[in-house]
Amino acid sequence: TATRLLVAAVLYAAGTAVMLVMLFHPRSRWFLDPLTDVPCRDRPCVALTFDDGPSPDVTPRVLDILREKNARATFFVVGRQVERHPELARRASAEGHVVGNHTYSHPPLFCFLSPRRLREEVERAQDVIFGATSVRPHHFRSPVGLRHPILKAALDRVNLTFVLWRLRTYDTRALTPGELRRRILERVRPGAIVLLHDRGGPGAAAMLTALPDVIDALRARGYEFVTV
């Protein structure tokens, strides 16, 4: 009957919505427990993280700012990008930053990959990053923070910790530097892992302009900049 079809459609939609929340929400514990905060010691701390690089147009400028401000960060790099620009991953590691695994090709439908393809994405990126930096990554972030039923097993095979974020900045959107600065400074909390990007695109200029001010403002509040 029409009523039964309506009830079934509502239940299906509700189930789909719940599944999408569990797949996309950074603090979901479905399939595995992500790291969204870092422990602070004697003072407030924050972990700046940059995804999707290295990019020749953005990553060197981020590294220059971090060096100038004496701040450390974590770069979740895409293996294919490291193959194109190994010197940038090498520089990040040499300057004291952590280089993490962000898959080999950043597949947009990560949560629907076959188990074999998922393992290849993780392990190929591990090898490429190690080849460029001589350091094997210990941390992994999936594209857009997506989960996968076998992700825990794939990460355990190569001793990777799953890292997401506490504060998503939406810096890939066309924000102004002031908007991005306010978004971070109004929402940051001690121990927060902050998601940024160094891939280029419409938000890159605002991020590069805002980053020095954000570092200065957080340091004025007593924050220490740590890696994951």
Q: Catalytic residues, which ones?
A: 51, 197
Q: Is 116 exposed, middle or buried (0-12, 13-18, 19+ CB in 10 A)?
A: exposed
Distance CA 172, CA 203 (A): 4
Q: Under 8 Å CB-to-CB from 104, ≥6 apart: which residues? A: 78, 79, 80, 120, 121, 122, 124, 125, 128
Closest CA to 86 of 48, 142, 120, 128: 128
Instruction: Show Cβ contacts of residue 62 under 8 Å, excluding neighbours closer than 6 positions.
Output: 50, 73, 198, 208, 211
